[in-house]
Amino acid sequence: MARANRHHLPGYVWHITHRCHKKEFLLKFEKDKKRWIHWLFEAKKRFGLCILNYTVTSNHIHLLVYDGKNNVIPKSMQLIAGRTGREYNIRKNRNGAFWEDRYHATAVKTDDHLIMEFLIDRNIGSGDGFTFICPSRGSPIS
């Protein structure tokens, strides 16, 4: 059976989660987390992904992004997930899936105050101290 099409509407903030295969702790080492972050910022450079915040845990990630253009999120997630999994499998001399399934994306209301409550409620980015400026929005959300 074919998968349902994704519908990313430009102009929304999206909370994205992606879990490691079989809920394994494949991102438990700092080296693996840093490689995921490297590819996240590579997606920002290549596709203009507007990153508001992120958290990398031992077995899944949370990502909060603003979708200002068509197909930025799918292209970015394909790059990040594909390269992270490939590098891990090569380094560990391993075959098979790195990610459990496709990533999950949920639209979030775009009111800045609601976004901050959303981040605080889920403890996303606690201690990271990151503030990102989105080129399309022009102002930081901190």
Q: What is the pLDDT of residues 84-95, one digit of tens each?
A: 999 999 999 999
pLDDT tens for 44-101 read 999 999 998 899 999 999 999 988 877 899 999 999 999 999 999 999 999 999 999 9
136 has a pLDDT exceeding 50: no
* Torsion angles phi and psi, residue 62, rounded to 5: -125, 140
**Secondary structure letter of residue 15 according to DSSP:** E
Q: Is the pTM above the cut of 0.85?
A: no
pLDDT band at 126 (very low <50, low <70, confident <90, very high): very low
Sketch out the chain's domains with CATH numbers: 12-141 (3.30.70.1290)
Average pLDDT, the chain: 81
**Integer Cα distance of 102 and 58 in angstroms:** 18
Confidence at residue 69, expressed as pLDDT on a 0 to 100 scale: 79
**Integer Cα distance of 141 and 132 in angstroms:** 7
**Integer Cα distance of 119 and 132 in angstroms:** 14
Burial class of residue 27 in the structure, from the number of CB atoms within 10 Å of its CB (0-12 exposed, 13-18 middle, 19+ buried):
buried
Average pLDDT score over residue span 30-40: 96
Angle at 107 between CA 104 and CA 43, to 5 degrees: 65
Higher pLDDT, 119 or 47: 47
**Integer Cα distance of 125 and 123 in angstroms:** 6
Radius of gyration for the chain, computed over Cα atoms and rounded to the nearest angstrom: 15
Task: Report which of 68, 62, 33 is spatially closest to residue 50, judged by C-alpha positions.
Answer: 68
